[in-house]
Homo-oligomer: A and B are copies of this chain.
Amino acid sequence: MGKFEVNILGCGSALPTLRHYPSTQILNIRDNLFMIDCGEGAQIQFRRMRLKFTRLGHIFLSHLHGDHCFGLIGLISTFALMGRTGELVIHAHPLAEEVFRSQLNFFCRDLPFAVRFEPVLADRATVVYEDRSITVTSLPLKHRLPCTGFLFEEKPGMRHLLGDMVKFYDIPVYRRAEIKAGADYITPDGRTIPNAHLTLPADEPLRYAYCSDTAYNESLLPHIAGVDLLYHEATFGDDAEALAKATFHSTARQAAIIARKAGVKQLLLGHFSARYEDETPLLEQAIEEFPASILAKEGQKIVLGR
């Protein structure tokens, strides 16, 4: 299957620092870009990572706290100046349309492209986007206001035809698609060749889950079980567990416990509080619970792969 990359544009939290931009990520899935959250400065980081503005069609906002969406108006304004024509779809809480539409009407009159808002409800997991290759499902999180994570999943692919068998049975081109989809092959003389002789299984679909901002939340587990990569907020360390609880955030350790219980392949920690000059202690605390933990960092590109 194709490319599936997670680009970290920002992984700080409410208070931007010189170390971290606020929350923004861009997924590159087969050269289509999907943005998750859009903090102030997202457009600059977008450029800095040398991703193509024109490849972005959809932006998913987890919630309407400023550190997750203050970059949106600037990004849209820049798209307008660059002459974008393709529709831009914003998947966000229903209140987003009102607040951003009034900004757009004021600052970006005569946009040369359409901006469409698609409501994302935070009460249950729902498919919010789908195309030929992927499905995006919203994941209810526990935060101070309605907030959703997003699960990006590849659709199951085709089985792999074995070249040698194709040659051996001289399988005509027009029959190959159905065999890749799982059919057996009936030879011209009526013999049935079982699909398992002709193909190898399809690749496991890749799955990425973005969970920020949220308190410790086990109701996530069935949705994110076994994902290739889990981004989970880790605003605080053990030193500030009470603060995490009070503000509906997670500690790095809690993120790692969720990762372990969900049996994910790798955990990416982010949304770091400005109080930490260095997040190494957070990483160490996470690794105690779940060894395959890493820290997010601006400019980082993580390739999901088989």
- A66 near B70 (CB under 8 angstroms)? no
Of the candidates B67, B77, B102, the one whose C-beta lies within 8 Å of that of A102 is B102
- B16 near A66 (CB under 8 angstroms)? no
Question: 5 closest pairs, A vs B, by CB?
Answer: A40-B74, A66-B77, A70-B74, A66-B107, A99-B106
CA distance in complex: A93, B77 (Å):
20
Question: Of A14, A43, A70, A82, which is in contact with the most chain B CB atoms at under 10 Å from its CB?
Answer: A70
Residue interface bits A34-72, CB-to-B below 8 A is 1, else 0: 000000110110011000000000000000111100110
- B40 near A18 (CB under 8 angstroms)? no
**A103 proximal to B (CB < 8 A):** yes
- B64 near A43 (CB under 8 angstroms)? no
**A81 proximal to B (CB < 8 A):** yes
Residues from chain B with a CB closer than 8 A to the CB of A65 are 107
Number of copies: 2
Least Cβ–Cβ distance between A108 and chain B, in angstroms: 7
**A219 proximal to B (CB < 8 A):** no
**A294 proximal to B (CB < 8 A):** no
Q: When A70-B73, A73-B66, A103-B103 are in contact, do A78 and B15 touch as well, CB less than 8 Å?
A: yes
**A17 proximal to B (CB < 8 A):** yes
Residues from chain B with a CB closer than 8 A to the CB of A48 are 18
27 contacts between A and B (CB under 8 A): A14-B77, A14-B81, A15-B78, A15-B82, A16-B43, A16-B78, A17-B47, A18-B47, A18-B48, A21-B44, A40-B40, A40-B41, A40-B44, A41-B41, A41-B44, A64-B106, A64-B107, A65-B107, A66-B74, A66-B77, A66-B107, A66-B108, A70-B74, A70-B77, A70-B107, A99-B102, A99-B106
Residues from chain B with a CB closer than 8 A to the CB of A67 are 77
Which chain A residues numbered 77 to 121 have a C-beta less than 8 Å away from chain B?
Answer: 77-78, 81-82, 95, 99, 102-103, 106-108
Closest B residue by C-beta to A50: B18
CA distance in complex: A107, B67 (Å):
10
Residues from chain B with a CB closer than 8 A to the CB of A15 are 78, 81-82
CA distance in complex: A106, B103 (Å):
12
CA distance in complex: A103, B106 (Å):
12
Residues from chain B with a CB closer than 8 A to the CB of A43 are 16, 40
CA distance in complex: A242, B16 (Å):
40
Closest B residue by C-beta to A108: B66
Residue interface bits A1-17, CB-to-B below 8 A is 1, else 0: 00000000000001111
